Amino acid sequence: MTLASLKNATKAFFNGLTTPCAKIGIPSAMKVKPMTQDIQHEIEHFMNGLKKRNPQEEEFHQAVGEVVHSVMPFYLDHADYRKAQLLERLTEPDRIVIFRVSWEDDQGNIRANRAWRVQFNHALGPYKGGLRFHPSVSQSVLKFLGFEQIFKNSLTGLPMGGAKGGSNFNPKGKSDREVMRFCHSLMTELHRHIGEDIDVPAGDIGVGSREISYLFGQYTRLENRWTGVLTGKGCAFGGSAVRTEATGYGCIYFCEHMLHQHDESLEGKRIAISGSGNVALYAAEKALDKGAKVLTLSDSDGFVHIKDGLTKEQWKSVRELKEERRGRISEFAEQHAGVEFHRDAKPWGVKCDVALPCATQNELQEEDAQSLVEQGVMAVCEGANMPCTHDAVERFREKGVLFAPGKAANAGGVAVSGLEQSQNALRISWSHEKVDSQLQEIMEGIHERCVEQGQRNGRVDYVDGANIAGFKKVADALLAYGVV
């Protein structure tokens, strides 16, 4: 393939992507420029500058490093991208709003937390991305999440920019009233910066339907109008069917495509899952539907090993424990024979075919990857955002383990958020079946884009595929806009 035909093929592919509602055209496999010393040098040079401009933001460096590593060969091939300084521009958020959230606890003490909204890039649509409440939240964490969100949202094919927000508030152990007062206070500031065509937040760690309801109630009160300014709302007041399940279900749909691509299926596979929150629970449910055996779940106290595999009845009980009673995963082991709890341990030592890290960033490290490889793991799909460290990912890649990065594998959540925005704009509600079938179609499309852009010597590198496919669309939009 010549360089010119390569460029034409790329153009055709992305013309397909930018045509609303068009079935995405998939060009023939592209030949990839090998990584040379010059390219390595450019990556180092770029990353040194980024680190200097953003000191002590390690998570942000990590997320950018991964994208830059994938796209640099492609970027250097496009003089127009370089001239427009697209990488420099794309790694600088449009803006970050930082504010204090004052609130009163149940004992009458006045408390203050810090909150952020990182509006990273809105080339493809209104800013979109979740809010996280966790004591570990920092500007670096939210910048990494906002940056990832740009490419994830691009991959869905829906018109959404990238953003993330949250607070170092710890909802654990707080009463409903305390959480309500915190959410109302946070929205009292945040409402000035968001809107259905400006920025549409949603949930993430520590932010589920309870928090979204409090936030939405306060927005509606302050603005005196009902509008789809948040997603993940209750279905009775503008929420979408399948939004609760979307990230976990989407992860399994993606995993299934990845396995089918390599003549495998989920039927009978042993699955290790970390986390027991929104993503983990619904990934486990869909995995059971597909005939897989779910062997583990976890929380920050440790993991449970379900030796015979989670049953549907046990799944209902763990959902009720975690979603309704906000209990600990150790209680699940106490209540069920044949379930062992391992305190302060991670599930990656359990022999499995597929691993789904669904808790938090950097939870799966090199030694965990090594242990999974030794146990014969075949595929790893990131349900969480950046749960695998750089070294862990490299270990999977070098050992030929199928590896799906979060921006592809967990895009189902934001995709159904996008569908919730559409339903709100149209003032209608679609059925469970309709939304689920659109989710399946979107996950299939993302998989196709990864396969197309990630062909490497007869195998698919899903990291490169997702990064290049996500990047190209945003880069072309920025080029078209001129110097903005």
Q: How far are the Cα atoms of 257, 402, 451, 482 from residue 262, in angstroms, in the given order?
A: 9, 9, 11, 42
The least CB distance from residue 421 to ligand 2IT, in Å, is: 9
Residue 258 binds ligand NDP (CB under 6 A): no
- Binding stretches for ligand 2IT (CB under 6 A): 128-130, 152, 202, 204, 231, 385, 413-414, 417
Residue 203 binds ligand NDP (CB under 6 A): yes
Nearest to 299 by CA among 267, 331, 251: 331
The least CB distance from residue 152 to ligand 2IT, in Å, is: 6
Backbone phi and psi for residue 102, each to the nearest 5 degrees, phi listed first: -95, 140
Q: Residues 215, 288, 352, 384: which binds ligand NDP (CB under 6 A)?
A: 384
- The Cα 272–Cα 282 span in angstroms is 14
Q: Residues 66, 204, 245, 353: which binds ligand NDP (CB under 6 A)?
A: 204
H-helix or E-strand containing 127? strand 127-133
Residue 359 binds ligand NDP (CB under 6 A): yes
Tell me whether residue 10 or residue 244 sits nearer to ligand 2IT (CB atom).
Answer: 244
The least CB distance from residue 277 to ligand NDP, in Å, is: 2
Tell me whether residue 128 or residue 184 sits nearer to ligand NDP (CB atom).
Answer: 128
Sequence letter at residue 472? K
Nearest 5°: the CA angle 435, 436, 437 is 90
Nearest to 276 by CA among 220, 313, 328, 311: 328
The least CB distance from residue 419 to ligand NDP, in Å, is: 13
Q: Classify each residue of 375-388 as buried b or exposed e, where b means 16 or more C-beta atoms within 10 Å of its C-beta.
A: bebbbbbbbbbbbb
Site string for ligand NDP, 136-165 (x = CB under 6 A): x-----------------------------
Determine the longest span between alpha carbons in the chain, in angstroms: 71
User: Three-state SS string across 16-76, please?
Assistant: HHHCCCCCCCCCCCCCCCCCCHHHHHHHHHHHHHHHHHCCCCHHHHHHHHHHHHHHHHHHH
162-167/110-121 β-pairing? antiparallel
Residue 168 binds ligand NDP (CB under 6 A): no
Residue 413 binds ligand NDP (CB under 6 A): yes
Q: Give the active site residue among 128, 143, 152, 164.
A: 164
Tell me whether residue 114 or residue 319 sits nearer to ligand NDP (CB atom).
Answer: 319
Residue 276 binds ligand NDP (CB under 6 A): yes
Candidate segments 306-314, 334-342, 358-366, 397-405, binder of ligand NDP by CB under 6 A? 358-366
Sequence letter at residue 222? L
- The Cα 401–Cα 149 span in angstroms is 25
The listed partner (ligand NDP, ligand 2IT, none) that binds 129, CB under 5 to 8 Å by sort, is ligand 2IT
Sequence letter at residue 379? A
Which residues share a beta bridge with 339?
A: 306
Residue 241 binds ligand NDP (CB under 6 A): no
Tell me whether residue 295 or residue 443 sits nearer to ligand 2IT (CB atom).
Answer: 443
The least CB distance from residue 63 to ligand 2IT, in Å, is: 12
Q: Give catalytic status of residue 164 as yes or no.
A: yes
The listed partner (ligand NDP, ligand 2IT, none) that binds 158, CB under 5 to 8 Å by sort, is none
Backbone phi and psi for residue 247, each to the nearest 5 degrees, phi listed first: -70, -45
What residues are labeled active site?
164
Give the binding site for ligand NDP (CB under 6 A): 134, 136, 203-206, 247, 275-280, 299-300, 358-360, 363, 383-385, 410, 413
